[in-house]
Chains A and B, each alone.
Chain A
């Protein structure tokens, strides 16, 4: 009985902590409607896209969901080691394909790539 008491006094929590942690994790996925496989694929796709434009430190990439009440933000922290030279920013497809699309969209005019100042 004394042992029970001491155990209770010094215990850092039983199964309820596990329950809470599991709930928090499962609800992130429920709320974002994202399965672990989807998250994994998203991660791979993000890395594929980003490495087309810059060199990143693959070992230090952090991607996760930031949870606040019932809203979720996807936050990625991707350390850049070097920006590649002469790559056109594009939101879809390969940079070359996108250039083709832009040509037709602008009636044959070539889009001039914008470059941010302060680039290495």
Chain B
């Protein structure tokens, strides 16, 4: 299998890029793939704490690019999965510490060692995003079903398209089905209508995401919470499995019949 470099990105910040990167990395590694999660958010690194590996970080990828250390010295092995690694970002440097050329160089080095290279991108459309995206083949765009997030996702999709990334696929994160049912939140279908790209996953709002980030244990390590299942399904779709999405109408009907039953006291 050819190595695949996937950038995980969004226009707006705080919509779940780092959460998604860590969980998909774990899920892919659990399938036996060699995976590295790269923290491309220089100066605001987070992936190390999200994965619970912050105490084992010694070097970062800028050290590798500057020749301070070798690649395998900077890679942090995740003891919970044999084939999972983290490549940390520098915390005390700024985003212009690396050039797009250097990022491509780094990606080429990683391509030789891994099946999946996941790049956790910083928010926004500035240099940091370009650095994260330049070496990637494909992209996952995260959006929450809210106006600013979808708007900014559209902007990022345009940029990814002009950079020639393909496929570019959408993850709708933090979907709240109760609000959708009440007509108070954009449904996945609405977001797809607007953004007109392929969907690869729907992640519900789930309290266990917060608990897992408190502990530094990505949900995909075993939890069977709704979000954990959603991330596992996304990983399966990434490797090409066809996992149907629950039909949107079905979901709606479920809500409707649930309401009907409740109305007639059938619980």
Q: Which of A16-46 contact B (CB under 8 A)?
A: 16-17, 19-20, 22-24, 26-27, 30-31
Interface segment, one of A5-13, A51-59, A77-85: A5-13
Contact assessment for A11 and B183 in the assembled complex, using a CB-CB cutoff below 8 Å? yes
Contact assessment for A20 and B151 in the assembled complex, using a CB-CB cutoff below 8 Å? no
* Chain A residues with a Cβ closer than 8 Å to the other chain, count: 21
B166 CB to nearest A CB, Å: 14
Interface segment, one of B2-10, B25-33, B153-161: B153-161
Q: Mark B231-267, 1 if CB is under 8 A from A, else 0.
A: 0000000000000000000000000000100110000
B205 CB to nearest A CB, Å: 15
| B183 neighbours in A (Cβ, 8 Å) | 11, 13-17
Contact assessment for A23 and B150 in the assembled complex, using a CB-CB cutoff below 8 Å? yes
B182 within 8 A of A: yes
| A69 neighbours in B (Cβ, 8 Å) | 196
| B181 neighbours in A (Cβ, 8 Å) | 8
Given the known A-B contacts A23-B194, A70-B196, are A16 and B259 also in contact in the complex, defined by CB atoms under 8 Å? no
Chain B: which residue is nearest A7 at the CB level? B182
With the chains together, A12 CA to B259 CA distance in Å?
A: 17
Given the known A-B contacts A13-B183, A16-B180, are A30 and B194 also in contact in the complex, defined by CB atoms under 8 Å? no
Q: Indicate which residue in A1, A16, A27, A70 contacts B185 across the interface (CB closer than 8 Å).
A: A16
With the chains together, A119 CA to B203 CA distance in Å?
A: 62
Contact assessment for B182 and A14 in the assembled complex, using a CB-CB cutoff below 8 Å? yes
Q: Which of B58-78 contact A (CB under 8 A)?
A: none
Contact assessment for A19 and B196 in the assembled complex, using a CB-CB cutoff below 8 Å? no
* Chain B residues with a Cβ closer than 8 Å to the other chain, count: 24
| A5 neighbours in B (Cβ, 8 Å) | 259, 262-263
Chain B: which residue is nearest A12 at the CB level? B183
Contact assessment for A22 and B147 in the assembled complex, using a CB-CB cutoff below 8 Å? yes
Contact assessment for B180 and A23 in the assembled complex, using a CB-CB cutoff below 8 Å? no
With the chains together, A59 CA to B84 CA distance in Å?
A: 66
| A75 neighbours in B (Cβ, 8 Å) | none
A2 within 8 A of B: yes
Q: Which 3 A-B residue pairings sit nearest by Cβ, starting from the closest?
A: A14-B183, A13-B183, A14-B184
* 29 sample A-B contacts, Cβ–Cβ < 8 Å, listed by A number: A2-B263, A8-B182, A8-B259, A13-B183, A14-B182, A14-B183, A14-B184, A15-B183, A15-B185, A16-B183, A16-B184, A16-B190, A19-B147, A20-B186, A20-B193, A23-B147, A23-B150, A23-B151, A23-B186, A24-B194, A26-B147, A26-B151, A27-B154, A30-B151, A30-B155, A31-B158, A69-B196, A70-B161, A70-B196
